[in-house]
Amino acid sequence: MCPGAVVVAQALDYETVKEYIISIEASDGGIPSLSSKAVVKILIVDANDNRPVFARSNYTAVVREDVVVNTSLLQVLETSVDDLFMTIP
């Protein structure tokens, strides 16, 4: 690992923690010792890690045989936790 490297120490989960803010201080070995501070903000981007869920488990449409072509019969709805959070900074 390179000096000054910031690494992932545990699994990330966007739905739990969306960002990390860490303070860093570096100092030299001189006399007098000089130092500097910085703040690092790490934004977590959501991954597609949750299955979509249908609003219902079964859908039924009753349609006459002479229905006009391209007639909409029903709308199937699904949601995913990922869809609610999916953003790219």
Report if residue 46 sits inside a domain: yes
Q: Kindly state the average pLDDT of the residues 9-15.
A: 92
Q: Which of 44, 26, 56 is nearest to 82 (CA)?
A: 44
Total domains in the chain come to 1
23 Cα distance to chain centroid:
23
Report if residue 3 sits inside a domain: no
Contact 8, 24 (CB under 8 A): no
Report if residue 64 sits inside a domain: yes
Report if residue 48 sits inside a domain: yes
Q: In which residue are the tokens 């488990």 written?
A: 57
Phi/psi region, residue 85 (left: phi>0; alpha: psi -120 to 50; beta: rest), is: alpha
Q: Which domain holds residue 29?
A: 19-85
What pLDDT digit, counting tens, does each position of 62-88 carry? Answer: 999 999 999 999 999 888 877 665 554
Report if residue 51 sits inside a domain: yes
Report if residue 28 sits inside a domain: yes
In this predicted structure, what is the pLDDT of residue 49? 82
